[in-house]
Chain A
Amino acid sequence: MPPDANVRSQRPVPTPDEASAPFFAGAARGELMLQRCGACGAFMWPVRPRCVECFSGDLEWAPASGRALLYSFAVVHQRYPGFDEPYVVATVETPEGVRFNTSIVGAGPEELEIGMALEVVFDPISADVVVPKFRPAP
């Protein structure tokens, strides 16, 4: 058992629901899936009932590039069950035009620079649930 396994086991694990099932299914097979409007092509985050641009109800899921730029980051020094502080919560922006919060792996807070190129990795956080995280792009 890796040394941090017990700590990690206390982390909240998302429960996929009907709306988010395609996202979590994608993550489980190693794809970052984003919701996209079938009418105008706009990408959305997190999950919308209709297109936020044209209000079409014709929404689909599409694989994203997996690339992103670091938009901002914060370093949590508070102690929460399941997390070794300090840890980073980051906002990333993808070429598809959406922005969301995530974890950064493979780089400490001191190595982060806003605007740096990132790529998605997939972290199996439980037996059933995989979540996307990001690391510096090579």
Chain B
Amino acid sequence: MNAAVVGLGITDMGKIYGRSAADFAAEAVALALDDAGLRKSDIDGLLINGNGNVDMEPRLQMALGFEDLTMLNVMSAAGSTSGAMVQYAALALDAGVVSHVVLVYADTPLKEDVGAAAAYARRGAWNGMNGLRGAYGEFGGNPPYALAARRHMHLYGTTSEQLGAIAVAQRKWALMNPRAQMTKPMTLEDHQSSRLVVDPFHLFDCCLVSNGAVAVIMTTADRAKNLRQPPVYVRAATQAAPGDNQRSGRDPGIHTGAKRASELAFSLAGITRHDVDVLELYDCYTYTVLVTLEDYGYCAKGEGGAFVEDGKLGPGGSLPTNTGGGQLSSYYMWGFTPLSEAVIQARGQAGERQVEKNDIVLASGNGGVLNYHSTTILSKHAA
């Protein structure tokens, strides 16, 4: 693809109150422009990650002061939106309809007097069949992902300790990430003794909730060469949405769109999964990482638990994964958490946690309850 990431802006993350999403977004964009060595007037494309926040709408353009855009949209494919945005931006750059595109995520779910779980268990009107969820106490993402994880445990013998190995590995990475919200070491015992949130998930199986913003700037591969940062080329950007999930004979929580999205991405990039040096996998829950590794083919279906339990995802392991700590331990910006860390690693700017071999870096996105997937393959080498 004729596209590269040339700018990255990440605000402070976490319990930062009293600021709007638009305010965070503006700061992230300013940081990304400075990072890239670009001016606001260079930007002619804006893709906004729709996430339910009232600021993440087309009028964000006005808040940011962008003028004369030739590409503007709010994109919404839940946690796979980041990958979809990279895909659309790359296609638009290649088509010549735009020259410099900002991709932005911002949210402020945390309020000073509201717990994280309540912040995300949005209490809408309980209309129609969807209203049954309220009647059954199915609030937020925890129950449906826990249902998928329990099913995997039933079918394959996956254990909570194996899920814990993912959380422990990511915490080790987070301790080397100055941006990470979680700053204390975690042992497997810590994971096991953390409170049950929705069994089989303990607290440390679940992502954080963060206030903050991330902005990414993309341009064409040719323009990228003359900017401030080492270019990070988009080698492939794919999506897969398998569809209806409540049918007998289908196991959507076990077999996800990650398989189709990754096969297409590897094929388009002309690589295999063995060429990937660093994985940044969407990790709303530990289980999401496990099932994605299986569907990407790093191990057979059902063997994800045994695959991760030796710690190979952590620092010094054979498959460096979620090297900034991920959404479990660094910050929760939906798909912009894996995407931002992928750019940092591909540039070679991850400091203490930099993975030595960083030729190919993969970022995934995931949304709904394993309904929507995106695979983004980035490289410091142009195709």
Contacts and interface: CB of A to CB of B under 8 A. Distances in A.
B203 to A, nearest CB: 10
Contacts of B143: 74, 76, 89, 101
A99 interface: yes
Interface in A31-55: 45-47, 52
B199 A74 contact: yes
B272 to A, nearest CB: 33
B357 interface: no
Contact of A15 (B128, B146, B196): B128
Most B C-beta atoms less than 10 A away, residue of A77, A83, A90, A98: A77
B134 A13 contact: yes
Interface in B108-128: 117, 121, 123, 125-128
A11 B198 contact: no
Given A17-B128, A52-B244, A114-B154, A101 B144 contact: yes
Contacts of A87: 137
A77 B197 contact: yes
Contacts of B154: 72, 114
Contacts, number: 133
B134 A11 contact: yes
Contacts of B135: 11-14, 103, 125, 129, 131
B128 A47 contact: yes
A13 B146 CA distance: 24
A23 B129 contact: yes
Interface in A63-104: 71-78, 80, 82-83, 86-87, 89-91, 93, 97-103
The bracket for how many chain A residues form the interface is 35 or more
A129 B127 CA distance: 12
A19 B139 contact: no
Interface residues of B, number: 40
B184 interface: no
A101 B151 contact: no
Contact of A114 (B144, B150, B199): B150
A15 to B, nearest CB: 5
Given A12-B126, A14-B127, A74 B136 contact: no
B248 A78 contact: no
Contacts of B117: 78
A71 B247 CA distance: 12
Given A14-B134, A97-B248, A78 B128 contact: no
Contacts of A90: 147
- Candidate in A47, A76, A80 with the most chain B CB atoms within 10 angstroms: A76
B134 A12 contact: yes
Nearest to A97: B248
Interface in A107-121: 109, 114
A47 to B, nearest CB: 6
Contacts of A12: 123, 126, 131, 134-135
Given A15-B131, A20-B131, 13 more contacts: A11-B135, A15-B126, A17-B128, A45-B246, A52-B247, A72-B154, A76-B142, A77-B195, A78-B117, A78-B142, A98-B247, A99-B247, A101-B133
27 contacts: A12-B123, A14-B134, A20-B131, A23-B129, A46-B128, A46-B246, A52-B244, A71-B151, A74-B142, A74-B199, A74-B200, A76-B142, A76-B143, A82-B137, A89-B138, A97-B249, A98-B247, A99-B246, A99-B248, A101-B132, A101-B138, A101-B144, A101-B147, A103-B136, A109-B199, A129-B135, A133-B136
Interface of A: 11-17, 19-20, 23, 45-47, 52, 71-78, 80, 82-83, 86-87, 89-91, 93, 97-103, 109, 114, 125, 129, 131, 133
